Structure 1
Amino acid sequence: MSLLKHTSTIAGFTLLSRIFGFVRDIMLARVLGAGLAGDAYQLAFTLPNTFRRLFAEGAFSVAFVPMYSRKLAGEGGEEDAARFADDVLSVFIWVLLGFSALAMIAMPIIVLGLAGEYQSVPGKFELSVFLSRVTFPYLFFISLVAMLSGLLNARSRFAPGAIAPVLFNLVLISGIIAGYSWRGDSGDDRYVVYALSAAVSLSGFVQFLYLWWAVRRAGLKLSIKKPKLTPEVKQLGMVILPATFGAGIYQISQFVDTFFATSLPQGSLTLLKMADRLNQMPLGIVGIALGTAILPMLSRHIQSDDKAKAQNLQSDAFEMATLLTLPAAAALAICAPAFVNAFFVGGKFKPEDGVIMSYITMALVAGLPAYVIVKILNPGFFARSDTKTPVYTALISLIFNIILNVWVVRSYGIVGLAGATACSATLNCLLLYAVLHKRGWFHFTAQLGNRIFRQLIATAAMSAALWWMMGILLPNFSSDILTRVSSLILLVGGGMAIYFAVGYLVGALDKDRVNRLLRRSGPATGEA
């Protein structure tokens, strides 16, 4: 199947998940606001979620999927692939249990390292430790979900893995509703975060059950045997260790940002995480979808030593990424006050919190194109089993991020912290491309540059229109619900119409390339 078809499948379900996630965050902001309980929950949510992205969806996926894909394409075919999967599962499950148990025991030390300043607020540190222990089992289940998704992705079955996050958000929404009802008129926000934290772990279990059913439905059978470190499992482990760092600069930066954010005034961590949710909307829909779709396809091209198809595949992915992320970044930066006021401000979330969150969002989305492009460049290394290079680039970017944080947080607070994250992601992107280009694995062509230039023209036209519309519509986003919704529809619809109209006129996307991508096979992707 084509890259566009794979990406559309993942992106469609991811969009559905992001919509439910957006509803979840709106409810959470209005029910909890930016206070003690909100900060404690955000820290408890960040810990397993960041480890999930770092290990399960990051290092494990980029290491396991290419190896499993090569087994499927090799002489042993299904039999070798099934044996490899069983061996990995039999070791992986005990590693997960051991890591989760140790982390829960050591949770006071972990929270102290990340949020030592919480000790200065009565009850905040203790609540953070308790909630983190409640949420951490989520990592165990979601890591198994990542493996099951990898089995299906290697067979070009992307839908189940993309549907799982929808279940996650539905369970969390139920948790917010349950916690709100439990709190009642008491005003004690702890009831909300107790229920919500339990819902996090429950959501992991629900996703695991669904993926297990999907794997069995696809005709695959997994069995847990006596753990055995076979040569293939050892090789996987050797790839995972450096890939943990190389694939997870954004996630590692989350820990760095969390550390600095917890040293700032109360509510800063909550506002940062809420703003990042807006940033994650296009990142998840475009970046994760493209990265997930490209890895097994790129691995097959490299396995068959077809350099031309590998180059075309990454070039197509790059073009699709910029087509969507350039306007998304510009629109979010210009319209941040509108989105924040329309959706988040209300209940316990105050207008002054909305102002700060808007500035944080503007700073974060400056790095949005880089966040997405990294998802496309990293597979170029991982598909070749090269995990050392991303480690080096990630280390340089992370050190840069820490130094920048030390300098900007004192002067610009939480907004400066968000800007530093965007800068470090951009640096990582540039370093990755420079190495790929130098090794002849991927190069930026004149045709691709010309296409992106035309996309920038369309983005500039859209930005000018949005800036003018914001000047007229901004007061409406603090009005009644009907006025907010109608103004948002006008703003978003107008921006999209202008971008795609101008993009069509100036040729921001090659129409022939779209047709090639839509076909089941063709020169753009080389899929048979």
Structure 2
Amino acid sequence: MLIKSIFTNSSGILFSRILGFIRDLLTASILGANIYSDIFFVAFKLPNLFRRIFAEGAFTQAFIPSYAKSKHKIRFSSIIFLQLIGFLLVLSLFVTLFSSLITKAIAVGFDAKTIDLAAPLVAINFYYLPLIFIVTFMAALLQYKNHFATTAFSTALLNIALIGALLISKDLEKYEITYYLSYGVLVGGLLQVLVHLIAVKKHNLCKVFTFKKHEKKEENRFYKSFMGATLGSSTAHLSAFLDTWLASFLVSGSISYLYYANRVFQLPLALFAIATSVALFPMVAKAIKNKDENKALQLMKKSSLILFGLLGTATIIGIIFNDLIVWLLFERGAFTSEDTTNTSLILTMYLIGLVPFGLAKIFSLWLYANEKQFIAAKISMKSLAWNIVFSLILIIPYEAAGLAFASTISGFVLLFLTLKEFGFNKFKTLIFK
């Protein structure tokens, strides 16, 4: 079942990423790497950051173990959903009202004129967050039932919506195109909600709303785990956000170089590491719940060995052919050969950290399944601190490439500390036994 689930997730992610690269190809060709692409990427960065930390990472890592142990699953899931969707809607309204301040906070290096251009886009894009939380909530229920296909393939819908927005608006002014892209984000979110509603209904999981008395103890346990998981799952995403923030002080186009390079880096990470962790986590959580530690460890051994081989191969290929990859994907239209050179160097800096980030994701599942979210959070924050230190050291001599390499260093720190908590002796025995 593990291999089948990994294959399902990988297939869906691959399909989505192919469409994602088509989207990026069109974006690079139509918008290029300039102030207009920068402001859209900044506007989409904030909801994407919250989505990956809260919705996809932290929520699933806290919800599935709590849901597995809950005695009243419908009551528990209902109150959690209603509380969090209410919070996210209020947060979205707050971002709308104070979009200029929010934009200034996430792109400090932008001047007043650029902030005025970006602020409306930030407000529009942020409404993707409550939509994708609804998707993630339903996806967690489906994952518990070992159904992964809907979530894996539905991510393609966002890319389809954005491709459509680009094709419709390609002959308009560049700033108008950014509006079409922003509304395309919302259309993609709505489509993802729709297909998950269909899947949830098919699997008889629609009874998620109840107003009966619920178990406060279960709710408190979830939020305790959720707070820890929120911090623990944030390292890679906060690193990318930090890159954007610092790159706003560099020459125009730096944010876009980091974005395009990170998009390539994220392909093998998502295709192999994320696909594996999504399939593995419910199985490990259920094994831990049933006090079958040996089964959980064997699942992790099998997954980590496969993942090491896949990510190691991807790293070598990516570094050797970095220029060719960027040239094939992006160099056309407004994206020049100089942009290719700058992006490929940054890609190499990111790829060095591919294996540690991927393996850290697998071994952190052990902590989450054992509800040690706050320990994982401490590890994550230490890794992030190293990233900040090296970003500040490397940004002046190496500019955007230095920011990418600082993120890679934090990946090695993250893996070291995660394995230390897992147990070096246990890791040695697990891998070489």
| Bucket of the pairwise TM-score, normalised by the shorter protein | over 0.9
- Correspondence for 2:322: 336
Contact 1:329 1:368 in 2 (8 A): yes
Contact 1:149 1:211 in 2 (8 A): yes
SS in 2 for 1:118: coil
- Correspondence for 1:461: none
Question: Is 2:134 the partner of 1:144?
Answer: yes
- Correspondence for 2:188: 203
**TM-score scaled by length of structure 1:** 0.79
- Correspondence for 2:55: 56
Contact 2:74 2:210 in 1 (8 A): no
Residue type of the alignment partner of 2:329: F
The equivalences for 1:113-512 within 5 A come to 113-119=105-111, 123-181=113-171, 183=172, 188-225=173-210, 230-437=216-423, 442-445=426-429, 448=431
CA distance in 2, matches of 1:370, 1:105: 40
CA distance in 1, matches of 2:143, 2:277: 12
What do the CA deviations read for 1:262-313 (whole angstroms, capped 9, x no partner)?
A: 1111110011001101001111111111111111100111112222111111
Residue type of the alignment partner of 1:413: E
- Correspondence for 1:467: none
* Deviation of 1:210 (Å): 1.0
Contact 2:16 2:155 in 1 (8 A): yes
What do the CA deviations read for 1:468-516 (whole angstroms, capped 9, x no partner)?
A: xxxxxxxxxxxxxxxxxxxxxxxxxxxxxxxxxxxxxxxxxxxxxxxxx
* Deviation of 1:226 (Å): 5.2
Query: Gaps spanning 5+ residues in structure 1: where?
Result: 451-528
SS in 1 for 2:109: helix
Residue type of the alignment partner of 2:116: E
Figure out how many residues of one structure are paired with residues of the other and give that number. Answer: 432
Contact 2:28 2:335 in 1 (8 A): yes
CA distance in 2, matches of 1:374, 1:227: 40
* Deviation of 1:410 (Å): 0.2
CA distance in 2, matches of 1:261, 1:449: 43
Residue type of the alignment partner of 1:110: I
Question: Equivalent of 1:91, from 83, 94, 113?
Answer: 83
CA distance in 1, matches of 2:40, 2:397: 27
CA distance in 2, matches of 1:33, 1:227: 54
Question: Is 2:81 the partner of 1:82?
Answer: no
CA distance in 1, matches of 2:96, 2:244: 19
CA distance in 2, matches of 1:210, 1:356: 39
* Deviation of 1:103 (Å): 2.5
Question: Is 2:24 the partner of 1:40?
Answer: no
* Deviation of 1:223 (Å): 4.2
Identity of paired residues, percent?
A: 29
Structure 1 residues 84 and 273, CA gap change in structure 2 (3 angstroms): same
* Deviation of 1:225 (Å): 4.7
- Correspondence for 1:13: 12
Residue type of the alignment partner of 1:139: L
What do the CA deviations read for 1:178-225 (whole angstroms, capped 9, x no partner)?
A: 2214x1xxxx21121110011011111110111011101111123445
Residue type of the alignment partner of 1:118: F
Question: Equivalent of 2:103, from 111, 133, 144?
Answer: 111
Structure 1 residues 302 and 35, CA gap change in structure 2 (3 angstroms): same
Larger radius of gyration: 1
CA distance in 1, matches of 2:13, 2:128: 20
Cα RMSD of the aligned pairs, angstroms, is 1.6
Where relative contact order (Cα < 8 A, 6+ residues apart) is larger, the structure is: 2
Query: Gaps spanning 5+ residues in structure 2: where?
Result: none
Contact 2:75 2:209 in 1 (8 A): no
**TM-score scaled by length of structure 2:** 0.96
Contact 1:85 1:222 in 2 (8 A): no
- Correspondence for 1:510: none
Moved more, 107-116 or 413-422: 107-116
What do the CA deviations read for 1:301-342 (whole angstroms, capped 9, x no partner)?
A: 111222211111111110111111001011111101001112
What do the CA deviations read for 1:327-383 (whole angstroms, capped 9, x no partner)?
A: 101111110100111221110111101100000000000001112112201110110
Structure 1 residues 264 and 228, CA gap change in structure 2 (3 angstroms): farther
Residue type of the alignment partner of 2:77: A
* Deviation of 1:144 (Å): 1.0
Residue type of the alignment partner of 1:160: T
